[in-house]
Chain A
Amino acid sequence: MKLSEIVRELDATILYGEDQLDKEIILCGASDLMSDVLVRPTNGILLMTGLASVQAVRTAQIAGVLAVVFVRNKRPGAEVIEAAKAGGIPLFATPYSMFVSCGRLHACGLCGLDGRR
């Protein structure tokens, strides 16, 4: 699924990464706990989180996450978007809850980190 399709499906705002919308996502994980993200196989995944802090972006960069979606319309501060730019990590904000966001993308065919649906 392309990032552009994810943006459409989640009615998301693009906070950063307009030029990366052709990138493909197969696996998706959802967590507010960065400690959890760091112990999972997260290379190339989409991360859904309610943690709109600079640590979410830095964790994503360290863990090889391809793009981050902030749920419940959480809008991060300017320093968070700057960190995403520095790391080249697309950032989106969706008005939907974590549950509904995950449900929408699951219905489109995205899998969990272990490849299961």
Chain B
Amino acid sequence: MASLRKSFFIKARDFAHAGEASIHIQNLLKSMHLDSALVRRIAICCYEGEMNAVIHGGDANIHVDIETDHLTLEIADDGPGIEDIARAMQPGYSTASEEAREMGFGAGMGLPNMKNNSDDIRIECAPGQGTRVHMMFLYEAERGIA
């Protein structure tokens, strides 16, 4: 199978549409008959990342690259960046707004959950240059493309 790239634009603070890109990606992966446990892991990471971008990030882009033996997910935003990545990776640490908490988010569990559900995660950010979260998922743990 040739590699396939899909990209989605995410608008900052647009809670009405937050999550739509992740659901689109979830439906796409289901239609490709990827293993359901793998699709769930990817969808959860994508959604956590999408919500992070909507809550903190400024406008963002999600890029999914579907390869023959793995999939990569990149969520790149124009937000203020993460001041202390090590702290942000600790469960329970959060800088989310009250508005995000009212939506049921902002409990400081997003990044740790993305780490748990991906096979590799890299976070790059510099002050004023936004945040780029790069995740990789291997098919080998599950069945891969049928």
Question: How many chain A residues touch B (Cβ–Cβ < 8 Å)?
Answer: 24
Bitwise interface map of B from 89 to 114 toward A, beta carbon under 8 Å scored 1, else 0:
00000000000000111111110010
Q: Does A32 sit at the interface, judged by CB under 8 A?
A: yes
Q: Which of A33, A38, A79, A86 contacts B48 (CB 8 A)?
A: A38
Contact at A43–B40, with CB atoms within 8 Å?
Answer: yes
Closest CB in chain B relative to A101 CB, distance in Å: 18
What chain A residues lie within 8 Å of B16 (beta carbons)?
Answer: 54, 79
A-B pair number, CB within 8 angstroms: 65
Q: Does B18 sit at the interface, judged by CB under 8 A?
A: yes
Docked CA distance A34–B108 (Å): 11
Contact at A61–B26, with CB atoms within 8 Å?
Answer: yes
Q: At the interface, is chain A mostly helix, strand, loop or mixed?
A: helix
What chain A residues lie within 8 Å of B26 (beta carbons)?
Answer: 61-62
Contact at B103–A55, with CB atoms within 8 Å?
Answer: yes
Q: Does B23 sit at the interface, judged by CB under 8 A?
A: yes
Q: Which of A32, A33, A56, A61 contacts B23 (CB 8 A)?
A: A61
Q: Which of A35, A56, A64 contacts B110 (CB 8 A)?
A: A35
Closest CB in chain B relative to A36 CB, distance in Å: 7
What chain B residues lie within 8 Å of A107 (beta carbons)?
Answer: none
Closest to B106 in A: A35
Docked CA distance A47–B3 (Å): 36
Docked CA distance A15–B109 (Å): 30
Q: Does B9 sit at the interface, judged by CB under 8 A?
A: no
Given known pairs A62-B23, A62-B47, the reply for A32 and B40 (CB within 8 Å) is no
Q: Does A63 sit at the interface, judged by CB under 8 A?
A: yes
Q: Does A7 sit at the interface, judged by CB under 8 A?
A: no
8 Å CB interface, B100-146 against A: 103-110, 113, 116
Given known pairs A33-B107, A34-B104, the reply for A55 and B15 (CB within 8 Å) is yes
6 smallest A-B Cβ distances: which pairs? A34-B104, A58-B19, A35-B107, A35-B109, A62-B47, A62-B43
Q: Which residues of A contact B (CB under 8 A)?
A: 32-39, 43, 49, 51, 53-56, 58-59, 61-64, 79, 86-87
11 contacts between A and B (CB under 8 A): A32-B104, A33-B104, A34-B105, A35-B106, A35-B113, A39-B109, A39-B113, A61-B23, A62-B26, A86-B23, A87-B23
